[in-house]
Amino acid sequence: MSFKALNLSPKLLKTIESLGYTKPSEIQQKSIPLLLNRKDIVATSQTGTGKTASFVFPLLENIEEENIKRTGDERYKIKALILAPTRELVIQIHKKIELYGENFTHKSVALYGGIKLGSQVSAIRAGANIAVGTTARVLDHIKNGSLNLVEVKMVVLDEADKMLEMGFIDEIREILSQLPKERQSVMFSATFPKSIRSLAKSFLINPITVEIDKSNLSSKQIKQKVNYVKEEEKIPLLSTIVRLNKWNRVLLFTNTKFQADKIVESLRNDKVKASAIHGDKSQSMREEALKKFKNGDISVLVATDVAGRGIDIIDLPYVINFELPIKSEDYIHRVGRTGRAGKVGEALSLVCKKELNRLKEIEELINKKLDVITTEGFNFEIDIESKKKDKKRGVNLKKAKELAEKMMGKDKFDSKNSTKNRKSTSKSPRNKRHF
């Protein structure tokens, strides 16, 4: 299918061509016609699949249609609202709107915390008709009287699962209550837990479910590997891997801000150029770190899950999980940062003994066993069978299985296909984990 077949305007087609996009991605092929027809949709789509354009293209077209009917100041009232969980993601979406909408009359404003309300108020007053924001900042503007949403025709909740996970449900509901009932509503989510389904039920009208082919989740060419290691040897192993392989563009995830700073310090001591990006860093520091990483001035960007969500780097060959995430769904989000737009990527997890249960939960969720690699000087083995007898598993496999069924198709998760019966892809001896 071509972009032309999607019924987009010549001016948008011109921009798409100049960006070098030759073919709509699957989520774009499925969502764009529905959204142009002003349907409500719930879409299961990860970052890296072209999902931003899948809602921004129709949004630009539909609002332009509205604008043609209006004149003067009337043209500049907020017509579309996009909510996203993090500042980084808000900035990223805003930039995409500016990029995709270069031949349109719309003005977009990005509303996020960490900077004063004033400059955003001026941007709204200067005439914006698309607002992209975090829930907290959008509410600040509503309460401040600087954001009027009564003319909104389209609302998009991007990465809705993350927003709920971060506890924004009340804020979302409060914002939605400010919007006119007659509107188009769109929800994107990488995973579909019960909370997301119930939110969708309450704010969308007869939504059409859009899912991308499950096999595409893994067709993103990401090699997923695990290197077992003693907890206290993780930092030396990390330095060794980065230096030995001359990896110069690594996005590294860890679970806490404290750990992120510690890793940066240790890497710098080992002469590896690194910076951290997390919630305790100011907006300008985060932007500076990201810029340096994109320019190649630093090799390793250390991020927590929240900060890492909005990072959009096409050419990101390596993701390292210094620790496995507490929530297995975050593994999917982390790994999805690499292998974007059809590029090849590699995701390596450094796993110590106490994380084995989490690893098992992740492998159940993605229905795949990670390939085991070893690094010279860091090997030892553990007998998994005896470990299983010793320790009762503390993970909620039922929940992981439910999510996995939603994401990848129920049939794959019948007991006959459980990980127990799958052939291991690891190169290690049966029932042995290498550390």
Q: Does 25 bind ligand AMP (CB under 6 A)?
A: yes
Per CB under 6 A, 367 contacts ligand AMP: no
Question: Which residues, numbered 307-346, are part of the site for ligand AMP (CB under 6 A)?
Answer: 312, 314, 340-341
Q: Using CB under 6 A, which of the segments 42-50, 238-246, 285-293, 397-405 binds ligand AMP?
A: 42-50
Q: How many other CB atoms are there within 10 angstroms of residue 2's CB atom? A: 9
Identify which range of 41-49, 101-109, 212-220, 299-307 contacts ligand AMP by CB under 6 A: 41-49
> Around 368, how many Cα atoms within 13 Å sit in the side-chain half-sphere?
16
C-beta of residue 82 within 8 angstroms of C-beta of residue 123: no
Site for ligand AMP contains 49 (CB under 6 A)? yes
Nearest distance from residue 20's CB to ligand AMP, in Å?
7
Query: Which x/- pattern, by CB under 6 A, does the window 269-308 give for ligand AMP?
Result: ----------------------------------------
Minimum gap (Å) between residue 218 Cβ and ligand AMP: 16
Q: Does 126 bind ligand AMP (CB under 6 A)?
A: no
Stretch binding ligand AMP (CB under 6 A), from 49-57, 72-80, 204-212, 248-256: 49-57
**Contacting residue, 26, 48, 83, 161, with ligand AMP by CB under 6 A:** 48
In the complex, the smallest distance separating the C-beta of residue 334 from ligand AMP, rounded to whole angstroms, is: 15
Contact region with ligand AMP (CB under 6 A), list: 19-27, 58-66, 343-351, 357-365: 19-27
53 binds ligand AMP (CB under 6 A): yes
Q: Which of 15, 47, 184, 189 binds ligand AMP (CB under 6 A)?
A: 47
Please count the residues of this chain forming the interface with ligand AMP, following the rule CB under 6 A. Answer: 15
User: Which residues would be at the binding site for ligand AMP (CB under 6 A)?
Assistant: 21, 24-25, 28, 47-53, 312, 314, 340-341
